[in-house]
Structures are given as C-alpha cells and as structure tokens.
Amino acid sequence: MLNMMKADMYRILKGKAIYIIFVFLILTSFVSAIGISPGHIGMSTSSGSAIDINDAEFVEKLSKAKSLKDVREVIKSKGAFELDKAVIGTNANLYYLFIVLVVIVLCTDFSNKSIKNTLSSAISRKKYYGSKTLLIFLLATFFTFFNTYFFYFLNIIINGKEFASSLLEVTKVTILELPLLYGIISLLICFAFLFKKTSTFNTVAIPFILGLQLVVIGITSLFKIKADWFYNYEFQFALEKIAQNPSTQYLIACTVLGIFYILIFHTIGYYSFKKSEIK
Amino acid sequence: MKETILKTNQLTKKYDNFTALENVNIQINKGDIYGLIGRNGAGKTTLMKVITTLTNRTSGEYELFGEKENVLEKKKRIGCLIENPAFFPNLTAYENLKYYCFQKGIADKNVIDEVLELVDLKEAKNKKFKNFSLGMKQRLGIAFAILDSPDFIILDEPINGLDPIGISKLRDTFKKLNTEKNITIMISSHILSELYMVANRFCIIEKGKVIKELSKEELDTECSKCIVIKTDDTKKASVVLETNLKTTNYKIINTNEIRLYDYLNHAEKVSKELISHDITIMGLYETGITLEEYFKTVIKEEL
C-alpha cells in the first residue's frame, strides 16, 4: 500500500493540479484577510462574518466606502473578532478542493484506464481501495491544516493580533471539524468508485452540496416543515457552528455523524468497486 | 514434467443472459508461447480479464503457478497488457514506467532503460504518452508488462495497429523473452498467421467456448499439404506405406484415415500399391489448407 501511495505522490507532484490547489488556498486566504471577511460558496448563516446586514448604520458606512482601505477601516471600527475561526467555519469551501483531490488521485486512474495495469498485476482491489482512500485523507488533512495555519499567520500580519485567536484554538477547531470533513470526503470517494469516469463524477459531485441544500430548503419552506435538524447538521452549517464554540453535546453529535458518513459511504464504495468490472 | 503456469477448470463468465465464457479448460505450461485465437467478441479478452481479476468469474476455477487459493499473491509474477495500452497521458514513457516501478516496489530504476531498449523505445523515453503513435503505445504496454521480470506475461492483441516492421520486431522480442528470459507468454489475436509465427501452442475460441487446443506440430499437420487415404484397414495400409513405399512420413488420424506427407505428386503410385495389396480404398485425394482457411473451417464446424 505504501508503494502505491508513493507512486501516486510521484505522479501527482509531476502534474499541475496539486500546485493549483496551493495557489487557490493562498489566494482565498489573502482575499479573506484583506477583506476581513471569510468567503462562502453556497448558503451561510453568516454569523461568523463581521458584516451584519441588520445594522443599518454599518451598512451605510460600508456603502460609502470608496476604496478597499476604507472598507477595512469601517469593518475594523465595528470591533475586533476572531477572523481566523470564522474562516475555519467556512471550511465547507474545501469541498471543491476535495473534489480536485479525488479526481487527481482516483478518477484519473479510471479515466485513463491505467487502473487495469495496477489491478491486473500489482495489487488487490482491497489494497487499491485502501491506499487511494488513505492518500486522499492524508492530502485532505494536509491542505485543511495548511489552510488553517497559513491564514492564521497571514491574518496576524495583515490585520493584527486583535483579529486572531490562539494557535491552539485554531488547531482545536480544525481537529473538531475533521470527522465531518472526512465524512464528506468519503462521500466523494464513494461517488468516484460508483461513477468512475471523471466527467460523471464531476457532474454529480460539484452541484451536490448546493443541490441538496436547495432541495431541502425548498421542500421545508414549501410544506412549512421545521428544519432545525437540517440547519444543525447539514455539512456546511455544521462546520460553521463547530467554529463558534458550540456545546459538547453538539460536537459529539457532529463527530458521530462524521463517523456514520465514513462508515456508510465506504461500505457502499468498496462493495460497488469489489463487484464491478474494470473496463 | 513441465511446471503448469495456468490451468483453468470449467471457467465460466456470464453477463446477465449472455455467456461470455463457457466451461473453458486450458492449460499453459512453463516455456509456452500460448496463442489464443478467436474472432472479435469470441471471449479472448474476457478470459484474460478473469485470469487477471479485472472481472469476476461466474463459476469454475483456475490455478496460477499451481495454486488455487493464493491467486492474488501469485499475480505479482504476472505482467499484463489487456486491451489498449493505458497510461497517464501527461507523463513521459520513462515517468510512466517509473510510476509503476514505485508501485511494484522496484528499487533499481535501470530496468526502465533496459525494457525501453528491448521494445525499441529508448529514443522516445522523454516523449509524453499522449504524443505516442499507436505502435509506440503498444510497445510501451509491452515494456510495462515485462518491467518486473515476470514469469508469465499476458498480452491481449499486442500487434494491433503495428506496421509490418513493428510486428516483426515485436515477434523477435517475444521469442527473445521466451528463450532468453524463460518467460511464458499468453498472447491473443484474431490473425492466426501472425500467431503461428510466434506461438508453439494454440487455442481456438469461439462464442466463449474452447473449440480446439493444439500444438504447433498438430496445427502443421492439420494444415499441411498431404494425401488423404480413406480406408477400412489403416493398420495394413501403414505396413504397405512403410515396407513398399519406404515412407514413415504419415499420420494415422483415425481408424479410417491416414495422412501421407510424401508422394504428393504421385498419388496414383500410392493408390496402385495399396490396391495391389488388397486394401480397400474408399477415398484418396490431395489436400492442404492455409492457416486462415483452417481457422475458418474450425469456426464453421462449431457454428
């Protein structure tokens, strides 16, 4: 399994995608640090942001700001807050980077059909599944912590210590998010083994989170169903809440949910792969 | 007795209502170059895919290197090229093979140059796979198959898309691997004449069934020009051939048929001699077919 992972790392480092992930993370960190606001893809409660749209005076000041410098001054005047934790709260954005990771580690093998070379003479399906999954998890963990620490130090340099929490605190929050992040990565791995082709995988995976949110919100508002469970435990909302010092009970529930996702998606993914014909 | 490399027993593969392989029994011994011949869709690739675990068998079993249970472990002794050669398009030939060196735990990277030289790709080692011609891709596939000096290589239609010079070079490579490195080879094709030039044993497969398994000598006998003597007393006829016509170059096919490979332009002399010894001749004629004709005949018999 180690040989397999070593081979994949050699191949991945020869490509461009991994470096694009670095550049993307660095750029988004700069945007969030300079704008003093974490960026969101998808729906958000925006509770971690400094921009409170209900504060009319604040919004008016923002609208009158003529430059980025003015915007920063207006936000800073509102008072300091833990921007680094707010950014960790938007780690659902990493979902799209995880898609890239799954594609470069796994889907490429299916699309190029090079998986035949590996399975026909090198290793068993079990080891193949294990090594690919482990490598994706390791790379995802690395990028998640890179995102956390890079932003932590960049934020201190650009905005000062008053907008930062402690290094220990950001590490703790990131670790608490890991079970849910691993759960969602497991979903992507499951998709990859089910759909195999990169194009099909992308078609399903890219809009999945947004689509799910839209469908659930649509149904709950149409039938006037109370959807607290959804807002509490949906992937994106849950990650935001974890960064806002929730109760221990909530953290345990999120960890259990993450473990449940990991188990269920790997069971489906592995058994579908085990039975499938490699074309 | 030669070591058995691969032995299948009633191997069957079904896709819903379609039977791709039906009770296939074949045996490949160490040192063989085993030619698998069949039309497109006959089941050649499916058989190779089952052996290499790219697809699961429906029933039956097979042994690799004499082991039924530990087949997955024995796979490490196999090199494969199934269907079209598939590699990472943005990596060069060298990088692609280096990837597989890491994967197979091959520490000595010099083997890459060695195998590339063997398949005549050393000049193109730094060319990206996506810029390769079909022939170059096939050769890289073979280089991959022999990368970790396997004991047994499985090649699915490796000469597809190659020009005559490429085919000839590849043929020499197979023979070299077989004789110098003692590698057993299983090679499939739908062109019998091409396989004839490299293989020493043949298996004709049609509609998922093995319809004939024969050695090169047997194939030669089946195809070569000869006089067919149909008689009710092959024993007496063979005595006449040996004592009166002074030839041992004949073969008794069954109780009613002898094939004589001498006297090809003197059938009347043979006829006279047999009749003079009171042997009833029910038929006597010259025959001989090309490999392709033989293949067609065998397939038609099956149809």
Does the residue B102 lie in any domain?
yes
Does the residue A68 lie in any domain?
no
Does the residue A148 lie in any domain?
yes
In B, minimum Cα distance to A109 occurs at B88
For B295, other C-beta atoms within 10 Å of its C-beta total 25
In A, minimum Cα distance to B79 occurs at A121
Q: What's the confidence (pLDDT) of residue A54?
A: 66
Query: Which among B83, B101, B103 is the top mutation candidate for probing chain A, defined by the most A β-carbons within 10 Å of its own β-carbon?
Result: B103
Residues A121, B84: C-beta atoms closer than 8 Å:
no
Considering the domain architecture, whether residues B154 and B37 belong to the same structural domain is answered as yes
Nearest CB to B102: which of A10, A117, A125?
A: A10
Interface check B70 vs A, CB under 8 A: no
Residues B185/B156, Cβ–Cβ less than 8 Å: no
* pLDDT at residue A178 tops 60: yes
Contacts of A222 by beta carbon, 8 Å cutoff, 6+ apart: none
- Give A-chain residues touching B101 at CB under 8 angstroms: 7
Considering the domain architecture, whether residues B88 and B55 belong to the same structural domain is answered as yes
Last residue of a domain, one of B192, B219, B246: B219
Residue predicted with more confidence, B49 or A67: B49
Residues B89, A112: C-beta atoms closer than 8 Å:
yes
Does the residue B107 lie in any domain?
yes
Helix (H) or strand (E) run with residue B7 in it: strand B4-15
- Give A-chain residues touching B83 at CB under 8 angstroms: 113, 116
Please report, for the domain that includes residue B278, its CATH number: 3.30.70
Considering the domain architecture, whether residues B41 and B181 belong to the same structural domain is answered as yes
The half-sphere exposure of A130 on its side-chain side, counting CA atoms within 13 A, is: 8
Domain, as residue range, for B252: 225-287
Of chain B, the percentage scoring pLDDT greater than 90 comes to: 15
Considering the domain architecture, whether residues B230 and B155 belong to the same structural domain is answered as no
pTM of the model: 0.80
Confidence of residue A13 (pLDDT cuts 50, 70, 90): very high
Measured in angstroms, the CA of B78 and the nearest CA of chain A are apart by 6
* pLDDT at residue A68 tops 90: no
- Give B-chain residues touching A277 at CB under 8 angstroms: 49, 54-56
Does the residue A77 lie in any domain?
no
Does the residue B300 lie in any domain?
no
Confidence of residue A48 (pLDDT cuts 50, 70, 90): very low
* pLDDT at residue B155 tops 60: yes
* pLDDT at residue B123 tops 90: no
Considering the domain architecture, whether residues B122 and B102 belong to the same structural domain is answered as yes
Residues B52, A275: C-beta atoms closer than 8 Å:
no
Confidence of residue B166 (pLDDT cuts 50, 70, 90): confident
C-alpha–C-alpha distance, residues B172 and B188, integer Å: 16
Query: What sign does the dihedral A58-A59-A65-A69 (CA atoms) show?
Result: positive
Please report, for the domain that includes residue B91, its CATH number: 3.40.50.300
- Look at chain B and report how many structural domains it folds into: 2
Residues A102/A139, Cβ–Cβ less than 8 Å: no
Q: What's the confidence (pLDDT) of residue A234?
A: 80
Q: What's the confidence (pLDDT) of residue B95?
A: 93
Interface check B282 vs A, CB under 8 A: no
Measured in angstroms, the CA of B214 and the nearest CA of chain A are apart by 27
Does the residue B301 lie in any domain?
no
Burial class (CB in 10 A: 0-12, 13-18, 19+), B83: middle
Considering the domain architecture, whether residues B230 and B100 belong to the same structural domain is answered as no
* pLDDT at residue B162 tops 90: no
Give B68-87 pLDDT, tens digit per residue.
Answer: 767 666 777 888 888 888 89
- The string of DSSP codes covering A35-61 is HTS---SS----TTSS--TT-HHHHHH
Q: What's the confidence (pLDDT) of residue B96?
A: 94
Q: What's the confidence (pLDDT) of residue B253?
A: 83
- Look at chain A and report how many structural domains it folds into: 1
Last residue of a domain, one of B219, B252, B272: B219
Does the residue A60 lie in any domain?
no
Q: What's the confidence (pLDDT) of residue A134?
A: 95
Does the residue A67 lie in any domain?
no
Considering the domain architecture, whether residues B255 and B202 belong to the same structural domain is answered as no
Task: Number of helices (H) and strands (E) in chain A: give both, helices first.
Answer: 14, 0
Residues A10, B98: C-beta atoms closer than 8 Å:
yes
Domain, as residue range, for A147: 2-46+83-275
Does the residue A51 lie in any domain?
no
Of chain A, the percentage scoring pLDDT greater than 90 comes to: 33
Interface check B35 vs A, CB under 8 A: no
Does the residue B158 lie in any domain?
yes
In A, minimum Cα distance to B105 occurs at A3
Residues B88, A108: C-beta atoms closer than 8 Å:
yes
Does the residue A170 lie in any domain?
yes
- Give A-chain residues touching B98 at CB under 8 angstroms: 10
Measured in angstroms, the CA of B295 and the nearest CA of chain A are apart by 29
C-alpha–C-alpha distance, residues B285 and A75, integer Å: 105
Considering the domain architecture, whether residues B275 and B197 belong to the same structural domain is answered as no
Residues B49/B101, Cβ–Cβ less than 8 Å: no
Considering the domain architecture, whether residues B215 and B248 belong to the same structural domain is answered as no
What one-character DSSP code corresponds to residue A278? -
User: Taking residues A74-85, what's their average pLDDT?
Assistant: 73
Q: At what angle do helices A198-222 and A94-102 cross, to 10 degrees?
A: 150
Give B280-302 pLDDT, tens digit per residue.
Answer: 899 888 877 777 777 777 777 65
Does the residue B298 lie in any domain?
no
Q: A-B interface: how many C-beta pairs under 8 angstroms?
A: 83
Considering the domain architecture, whether residues B167 and B265 belong to the same structural domain is answered as no
- Give B-chain residues touching A113 at CB under 8 angstroms: 83-84, 86
Does the residue A162 lie in any domain?
yes
In B, minimum Cα distance to A16 occurs at B90
User: Taking residues A202-223, what's their average pLDDT?
Assistant: 85
Considering the domain architecture, whether residues B208 and B282 belong to the same structural domain is answered as no
Query: Which among B90, B92, B96, B102 is the top mutation candidate for probing chain A, defined by the most A β-carbons within 10 Å of its own β-carbon?
Result: B102
- Give φ, ψ of B109 to 5 degrees: -75, -5
Considering the domain architecture, whether residues B66 and B191 belong to the same structural domain is answered as yes
Query: Which among A110, A116, A117, A279 is the top mutation candidate for probing chain B, defined by the most B β-carbons within 10 Å of its own β-carbon?
Result: A117
Interface check B54 vs A, CB under 8 A: yes
Confidence of residue A268 (pLDDT cuts 50, 70, 90): very high
Confidence of residue B43 (pLDDT cuts 50, 70, 90): confident
In B, minimum Cα distance to A108 occurs at B88
Average pLDDT, rounded, for chain A: 84
